Amino acid sequence: MSDPGSSIRLDKWLWQARFCKSRTIAAALIADGAIRVNSARVTKPATTIKAGDGLSFFHGGRVRVIRVLALGERRGPAPEARLLYFELEDTAATRDA
**Rounded mean pLDDT of 65-93?**
88
Q: Using one digit for the tens of pLDDT, what is the confidence trace for 46-72?
A: 999 999 999 999 988 889 999 999 998
The yes/no answer on whether domain 8-96 falls in CATH 2.60.40.10 is: no
pLDDT of residue 32: 94
pLDDT digits (tens, 9 = 90+) for 13-26: 999 999 999 999 99
Cα dihedral value 74, 76, 82, 86, nearest 10: 0
DSSP 8-48: EEHHHHHHHTTSSSSHHHHHHHHHTT-EEETTEEE--TT-E
Residue 66, classed as helix, strand or coil, is strand
27 alpha carbon, distance to own chain's centre: 12
How far is residue 88's CA from residue 30's CA, in Å, rounded to a whole number? Answer: 21
Which of the four pLDDT bands, split at 50, 70 and 90, describes residue 84?
A: very high
pLDDT value at residue 60: 82
Q: What is the mean pLDDT of the chain?
A: 89
The enclosing H or E element of 56 equals: strand 54-59
| Position 97 pLDDT exceeds 70 | no
Give the pLDDT score at 8.
95
